[in-house]
Structure 1
Amino acid sequence: MKITTIGIDLAKEVFQIHGVNAHGRIMVRKQLRRGEMAKFFANLEPCLIGMEACGSSHHWARKLSEFGHTVKLMSPQFVKPYVKTNKHDMADAEAICEAVTRPNMRFVPIKNVEQQAILSVHRARQGFVKARTAQANQIRGLLSEFGIIIPRGIYSIAKHMPIILEDAENGLPGTLRRLLERLSNHLKELDRQVKELELQIKIWHKENDTSQRLEAIAGIGPITASALVATVGNAMEFKNGRQLAAWLGLVPRQYSSGGKQTLLGISKRGDAYLRTLLIHGTRAVIRYAEKKTEPESWLRKLIERRNKNIAAVALANKNARIIWALLTKGTTFHPDHITTASATAH
């Protein structure tokens, strides 16, 4: 009989395959080496293929889709409950094959080559930013051991280091001066790399119409807009804006039972990088709103009722819903838009 569903446990060199027919009977259970994958699936009739969203999964999803197969990616945490026995490649492939057929399974949108390319730039920039922060903290720590404190802010280090190194009366030994000069040069190089990658992201942003439309939302700049377009991909995968907000981890966690609803802090699920960019962007909007926005606005009333952290997350949640609407409908954001119901009420 025809193979209808296949689960693939991805790896670097040896892939485990588990295939079943329409009645769930096992039709194929074997290992394939990397070089054999394309040939095997090219000669196979189109079927449903499930894989965990992990390293190289998007590459294989695109590759197998070219052969006419329907490929679905799933989060590993949703596949784990279907592992029947001890964890090994054969059990994982069988669990993936079972999970992909579930009607309520949640799938990960498949990214195209362009999306993955710009996301690689984002990941590299994020790594340089972390390394720059670590280097700055190391310089501060070394100087504090000799009683020298630099003011807050990462750019304060670049401003004060030349003065500290040239001051012959601060008691720093020559060995430490040479070390601090080396670390300071490394910090400058990291900062240069961050700025060059940011420029590359901004150039990509200017060439992408969808990314430019998202920039119209308050609190979203070129970095956040480009990351959203590259990560979310096809927003039609989400039924509504709330699902996108939940996917980003911007909705409350629940611990409800017996009809009693208990809401906790935000779930923090999904992409932490995107969530961080969105919330940091809304913090900037809140700082502006405290002075410039009309007292009767939604944001000003929210700030008066709750603290700024809650307001920042609430605004990020709202922005996520607006983002979904812009991505799915292809419209342009209008900050002063008034709904028909609101206009009638006034």
Structure 2
Amino acid sequence: MVTSLLPCNGEKMSKRVVKAGDTAGLFDLISQLKSTVRRRTGRDVPVIAIQEAGLDGFWIHRILERDGIESHVVDAASIATSRRKRRTKTDKLDGETLLRALLAYKRGEPRVCAMVVPPSPEQEDRKRNSRERRALIAERIKIVNRVKGLLFSQGIVGFEPLKRDRRTRLEELRTGDGRELPSNLKAEIVRALDRIELVLRQIKDVEAARDEVARNECDPSKVANGMSMLKQLRGVGADFAEVLWSEGLYREFANRRQLASYAGLTPTPWQSGSISREQGVSKAGNPRLRTVMVQLSWFWLLHQPRSALAQWFQERVALDGGRRRKPAIIALARKLLIALWKYVHHGAVIEGAVMKPA
């Protein structure tokens, strides 16, 4: 659905349908709209486009910009909508809402919506490695749990599908009542072990590709340098370094608030009259970056106990008698992310942090 507003049509918005992936049809429609404006007004006007960030990715944005069209990608959740429990929603209404948001944004109205900064194709592709590894790890866990569950139903515990002797051990297994494994069950488990071995090989390939990037000191995109700087810190391994860099720290941020907002680690106060409370962090940013920052914060306390950030955490928790460790760890994650950003981009030393031995 393409919704358009022409300067010669007043406030009337037109809706036209273009098939998914039909770029030629999209540009034909844009040409028709430009011709209509030129015929009615006698002048050419710039074309400005807006689309929601979503499953389409950024390829439409790129082809529009390549054709000289000003294109914007908006976070759909940032656009104000009706707060009624049951609100009308159709593609036509969504298109009109996007156009109104674009008009307000171009007028310079503050806080109308949040525009997304699209990554380059190279930056987008760089995220694939860490995301594929995460998916493979989840697949491995799923298959392992499936095998253990099947065996548990036969009274068998203690079998580890990830050990090297998994196939030998499988032949030795007996059910809780002393029988050999049923033939169909055994065949199913053998096929599951085949999938586990495939996943393990793929994880090894992905990790080898990650390590190759980290070793490439001549990388002009500074990827290797950023990841190697992160890995120099005690408690930050290759996996943490790759996710931190590819999911967030490769970007340029104007200030620490933009960075924390991108990770969804900013506070969300709720205030009305005399009522005021905190709702927790927004969780409106990159979920992968936010997750790894919370995990890294716990590791930071373990491996960097003498750092200023770890001591701040201990002091804050001590004031509450140790009862508010979870909210405090989220605050530490935000502070640590900002400290890592300053360290990678500006060379600012993290106070009290210990580096790995050379």
TM bucket by the smaller chain?
Answer: 0.7 to 0.9
Q: Does 1:141 align with 2:149?
A: yes
**1:75-224 superposed matches below 5 A:** 75-79=75-79, 81=81, 86-100=88-102, 101-102=104-105, 103=109, 104=111, 105-150=113-158, 157-158=162-163, 161-162=166-167, 164-167=169-172, 171=178, 172-175=180-183, 176-206=185-215, 207=219, 208=223, 209-215=225-231, 220-224=236-240
Deviation of 1:42 after TM superposition, in Å, equals 7.3
Distance 1:220 1:42, change over 3 A: farther
**1:315 equivalent in structure 2:** 332
Q: How far apart, CA to CA, are the structure 1 residues paired with 2:79 and 2:269?
A: 22
- Give SS of 2:71's match: strand
Q: Secondary structure at the match of 2:163?
A: helix
Letter in 2 for 1:106: A
- 1:335: which partner in 2? 350
* One-letter amino acid matched to 2:69: H
Q: CA deviation at 1:295?
A: 11
Give the equivalent residue in structure 2 for 1:262.
Answer: 277
Deviation, 1:137, is: 0.9
**Conserved 8 A contact 1:289-1:300:** no
**Deviation at 1:268?**
2.6
- Match among 14, 18, 40 for residue 32 of structure 1: 18
Q: CA deviation at 1:262?
A: 0.9
| 2:227 and 2:242 in contact (8 A); partners too | yes
Partner amino acid for 2:196?
L
Number of matched residues? 317
Aligned-pair distance for 1:200?
2.1
Counterpart in 1 of 2:293? 278
Counterpart of 1:331 in structure 2: which amino acid? H
- Larger radius of gyration between Structure 1 and Structure 2: 2
Residue 298 of structure 1 corresponds to 312
Q: 1:196 to 1:131 in 2, by over 3 A?
A: same
Report the Cα distance in structure 2 between the residues aligned to 1:296 and 1:96, rounded to whole angstroms. Answer: 44
- Shift in CA distance, 332/187, structure 1 to aligned 2, threshold 3 Å: same
User: Which segment is superposed worse, 247-256 or 215-224?
Assistant: 215-224
Aligned residues of 2:74 and 2:114 also touching (Cα < 8 A): yes
Return the alpha-carbon distance in structure 1 between the equivalents of residues 8 and 289 of structure 2: 39
What TM-score do you get using the length of structure 1 for normalisation? 0.75
Q: In structure 2, what residue type is equivalent to 1:138?
A: R
User: Could you tell me whether the CA contact under 8 Å between 1:217 and 1:333 is conserved in 2?
Assistant: no
Contact 2:235 2:304 in 1 (8 A): no
| Structure-1 residue corresponding to 2:356 | none
Gaps of 5+ in 2: 35-44, 354-358
**Which fold has the larger relative contact order, with Cα–Cα distance below 8 Å and residues 6 or more apart in sequence?**
1
8 A Cα contact 1:135 1:187, kept in partner: yes
**1:294/1:40 CA distance change after superposition, 3 Å:** closer
Distance 1:211 1:41 in 2: 43
Alpha-carbon contact 2:3-2:13 (below 8 Å) kept: no
Shift of 1:156: 6.8
Q: Is the 8 A contact 1:278 1:316 kept in 2?
A: yes
| Matches for 1:220-259 after TM superposition, within 5 Å | 220-232=236-248, 235-236=251-252, 239-259=254-274
SS of 2:49's equivalent? strand
| 3-state secondary structure, aligned to 1:36 | helix
The residue number in structure 2 matching 1:7 is none
| Secondary structure class of the residue paired with 1:262 | strand
RMSD: 3.7
